[in-house]
C-alpha cells in the first residue's frame, strides 16, 4: 500500500511539475468548481429546510453564520499553512518530512478546535447577545450551537484534510469530500429537522445534528485516505523539538491568513454600512450584487484553491519558469473570463433586476451596480490569486497588508468620496476604482515576493533582451 501511495504521489508530482501548464491547471481546477458549488449548496440546503420552521429560526441562522465562519476561519488558516508548506515539500520529494508536518498540523488543529469550541460554548449567550440576538432568537441559537460545537473539531479537521489533499495534487478527492458532505447533509436535514419514523423532530437542533453527522463522515473518509492510502498521517507522537519547529512555521502562515480572511467580510460589512445610508432598497440591491459577485467569481475561487499548490510543488522542484508561466496564464484567463462575464451581465442586467425584485427603485440600483462594479471583477480576481500565492511564497503578511490597505486606505475612503461626489453611484464607482488600486498594490508586492525566490513574471525572451 505504501509503495502504491508513493507511486500515486510521485505520478501527480510529475504531472504538476512537467506536463503542459494550461491543461494541468484546468484538470486540477475543474473538480474544485464542483466542490465550491457543493459548498454553496450546503448553506442553501440548511436555510431552505430551516425556513419551514419559521422566521425566528431563519433569523437565528443569520446570527449563527458569521460566528461559525469566524470559528472555521482558524481551520482555513491552518489548512492554508499546512498546504503551503506541504506542496513545497512534495515538490522537493521530501515526503516523510511532509508526513511529519501534516501530522503535527492535524494535532494542532485538534487542540485549536477543542479550545475554541469550549471557550465559545462557555460564552454562547454573551457572544450572541453582543452580536445583537434578542430573547426571541437566542433560544434557537443556543439549541443549534450547543450541538454544532460538538462536531466543530470534525468540521475543522475535514477542512484541513481537504486543503492537504489539494497540496499533494489530489483535487479530485478533495472535491468529492465537499460533495459527500453536502449530499449527506441534504439527506439528513429533513429527517432530523422534521422527524421520520422512530426519529423525532428536533427542529433547528436537527439541522445541527445533520451537519455533525455529515462532517464526521467526511472527516473519517478523509483521515482514512490521508492516513491509510497516502501514508501521510503518522501514528507516533512527534518529538517536542520537531513539533515546536513545525508549530512555529505553521502559525507564522496561519495567523496572518486567518486575519486576512476575516478582513474580507469585514470590508463588505463596512461598505454595506455606507450603502445603508440610502435606505433598505439600496441595501437589498447591494446584497443582490454581492450574491452575483460570488457566483461570477466561482471559477476564480476554484483556481485560487489549486494555483498555490501548483506554485508550491514547482517551487520545491526548482521549476521556476513554470511558476511565472502559470501566474501569467492564470491572470490572463481570469481577466478575459471576468470581462466576458461583465458583458453578459450588461446584457442581462434588466432581466436580473426584475428577477430579484418587483420594486422599480431596487431594480434601478441593481442595474446601476451591474453597470459600474463588475467591470472591475477581473482586477478583483487577480487580487484573490495574489493573496493566495503570497502564502505559498512565504509572504503571508503581505497578503494581510494588502487586505488591510484595501479596507482602511482604499475601499472605505473611495466609497466615502464617491458618495460625496455622486451619491450611491459614486460608491459603486469607488469600489471599481478600489479594485484597480488594490490590484496595482497587490501586483507590485507579488513581483517583489517572486523576485525574492528568483522568479520573474517576464518571459524568458524578454529577460534575454533586457540583459
Q: Quick check: is 159 in a domain?
A: yes
Of 238, 253, 284, the last residue of a domain is: 238
Name the pLDDT band for 463 (thresholds 50, 70, 90): very low
312 with 88: CB under 8 angstroms?
A: yes
> What is 257-298 written as a DSSP string?
HHHHHHHHHHHHHHHHHHHGGG-HHHHHHHHHHHHHHHHHTH
Of 238, 260, 292, the last residue of a domain is: 238
Name the more confident of 9 and 123. 123
Q: Are residues 101 and 14 in the same domain?
A: yes
Q: Are residues 293 and 218 in the same domain?
A: no
pLDDT digits (tens, 9 = 90+) for 104-121: 999 999 999 999 999 999
Q: Quick check: is 257 in a domain?
A: no
Q: Are residues 181 and 284 in the same domain?
A: no
pLDDT digits (tens, 9 = 90+) for 27-48: 999 999 999 888 887 777 888 8
Q: Quick check: is 251 in a domain?
A: no
pLDDT digits (tens, 9 = 90+) for 149-193: 999 999 999 999 999 999 999 999 999 999 999 999 999 999 999
Name residue, grid cell 426584475. 354
Nearest to 114 by CA among 74, 66, 152: 152
Q: Quick check: is 284 in a domain?
A: yes
Q: Are residues 347 and 432 in the same domain?
A: yes
Q: Are residues 145 and 284 in the same domain?
A: no
> Can you read off the three cell numbers belonging to residue 13?
508530482
pTM above 0.85? yes
Q: Are residues 81 and 212 in the same domain?
A: yes
Q: Are residues 303 and 210 in the same domain?
A: no
Q: Quick check: is 247 in a domain?
A: no
How large is the average pLDDT for residues 1-26?
80
Q: For residues 57 and 142, what is the distance between their CA atoms, to the nearest angstrom? A: 11
Q: For residues 145 and 38, what is the distance between their CA atoms, to the nearest angstrom? A: 23
Q: Quick check: is 383 in a domain?
A: yes
Q: Are residues 182 and 85 in the same domain?
A: yes
Q: Are residues 320 and 366 in the same domain?
A: yes
Q: Are residues 220 and 277 in the same domain?
A: no
Average pLDDT, the chain: 90
Q: Alpha-carbon Rg of the chain, whole angstroms?
A: 23
> Can you read off the three cell numbers belonging to residue 9?
504521489
Q: Are residues 219 and 276 in the same domain?
A: no
Decide if pLDDT at 1 tops 50: no
Q: For residues 454 and 467, what is the distance between their CA atoms, to the nearest angstrom? A: 15
Q: Which domain holds residue 83?
A: 2-238
Split into its structural domains, the chain has a count of 2
Quick one: pLDDT at residue 466? 44
Of 238, 254, 283, the last residue of a domain is: 238
Q: Quick check: is 249 in a domain?
A: no
Angle at Cα 103 formed by Cα 397 and Cα 112, nearest 5°? 60
Q: For residues 242 and 226, what is the distance between their CA atoms, to the nearest angstrom? A: 21
Q: Are residues 305 and 167 in the same domain?
A: no
pLDDT digits (tens, 9 = 90+) for 255-304: 999 898 888 888 888 888 899 889 888 888 888 888 899 889 999 999 99
Amino acid at each position: 500500500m505504501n509503495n502504491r501511495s508513493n507511486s500515486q504521489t510521485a505520478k501527480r508530482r510529475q504531472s504538476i511539475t512537467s506536463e503542459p501548464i494550461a491543461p494541468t491547471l484546468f484538470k486540477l481546477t475543474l473538480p474544485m468548481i464542483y466542490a465550491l458549488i457543493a459548498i454553496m449548496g450546503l448553506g442553501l440546503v440548511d436555510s431552505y429546510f430551516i425556513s419551514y420552521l419559521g422566521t425566528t429560526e431563519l433569523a437565528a441562522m443569520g446570527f449563527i453564520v458569521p460566528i461559525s465562519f469566524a470559528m472555521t476561519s482558524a481551520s482555513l488558516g491552518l489548512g492554508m499553512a499546512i498546504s503551503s508548506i506541504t506542496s513545497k515539500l512534495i515538490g522537493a520529494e521530501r515526503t516523510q518530512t511532509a508526513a511529519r508536518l501534516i501530522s503535527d498540523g492535524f494535532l494542532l488543529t485538534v487542540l485549536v478546535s477543542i479550545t475554541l469550541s469550549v471557550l465559545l460554548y462557555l460564552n454562547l449567550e454573551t457572544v450572541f447577545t453582543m452580536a445583537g440576538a434578542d430573547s426571541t432568537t437566542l433560544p434557537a441559537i443556543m439549541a443549534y450551537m450547543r450541538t454544532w460545537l460538538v462536531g466543530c473539531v470534525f468540521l475543522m479537521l475535514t477542512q484541513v484534510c481537504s486543503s492537504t489533499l489539494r497540496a499533494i495534487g489530489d483535487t479530485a478527492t478533495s472535491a468529492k469530500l465537499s460533495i459527500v458532505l453536502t449530499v449527506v447533509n441534504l439527506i439528513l436535514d429533513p429527517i432530523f429537522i422534521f422527524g421520520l419514523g422512530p426519529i423525532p423532530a428536533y427542529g433547528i437542533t436537527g439541522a445541527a445534528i445533520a451537519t455533525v453527522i455529515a462532517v464526521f463522515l467526511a472527516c473519517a473518509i478523509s483521515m482514512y485516505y490521508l492516513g491509510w492510502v497516502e501514508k501521510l498521517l503518522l501514528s507516533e507522537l512527534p518529538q517536542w523539538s520537531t513539533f515546536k519547529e513545525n508549530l512555529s512555521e505553521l502559525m507564522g502562515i496561519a495567523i496572518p491568513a486567518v486575519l486576512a480572511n476575516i478582513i474580507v467580510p469585514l470590508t463588505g460589512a463596512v461598505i454595506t454600512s455606507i450603502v445603508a445610508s440610502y435606505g433598505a432598497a439600496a441595501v437589498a440591491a447591494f446584497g443582490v450584487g454581492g450574491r452575483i459577485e460570488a457566483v461570477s467569481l466561482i471559477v476564480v475561487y476554484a483556481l485560487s484553491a489549486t494555483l498555490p499548490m501548483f506554485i508550491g510543488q514547482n517551487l520545491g522542484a526548482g521549476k521556476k519558469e513554470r511558476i511565472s508561466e502559470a501566474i501569467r496564464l492564470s491572470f490572463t484567463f481570469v481577466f478575459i473570463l471576468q470581462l466576458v462575464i461583465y458583458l453578459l451581465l450588461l446584457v442581462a442586467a434588466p432581466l436580473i433586476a426584475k428577477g430579484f425584485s418587483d420594486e422599480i427603485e431596487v431594480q434601478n440600483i441593481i442595474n446601476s451596480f451591474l453597470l459600474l462594479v463588475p467591470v472591475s471583477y477581473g482586477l478583483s480576481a487577480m487580487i484573490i490569486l495574489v493573496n493566495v500565492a503570497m502564502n505559498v511564497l512565504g509572504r503571508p503578511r503581505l497578503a494581510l497588508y494588502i487586505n488591510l490597505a484595501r479596507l482602511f486606505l482604499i475601499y472605505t475612503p473611495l466609497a466615502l468620496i464617491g458618495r460625496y461626489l455622486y451619491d450611491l453611484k459614486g460608491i459603486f464607482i469607488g469600489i471599481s476604482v478600489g479594485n484597480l488600486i488594490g490590484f496595482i498594490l497587490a501586483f507590485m508586492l507579488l513581483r517583489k515576493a517572486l523576485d525574492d525566490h528568483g522568479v520573474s513574471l517576464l518571459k524568458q525572451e524578454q529577460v534575454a533582451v533586457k540583459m
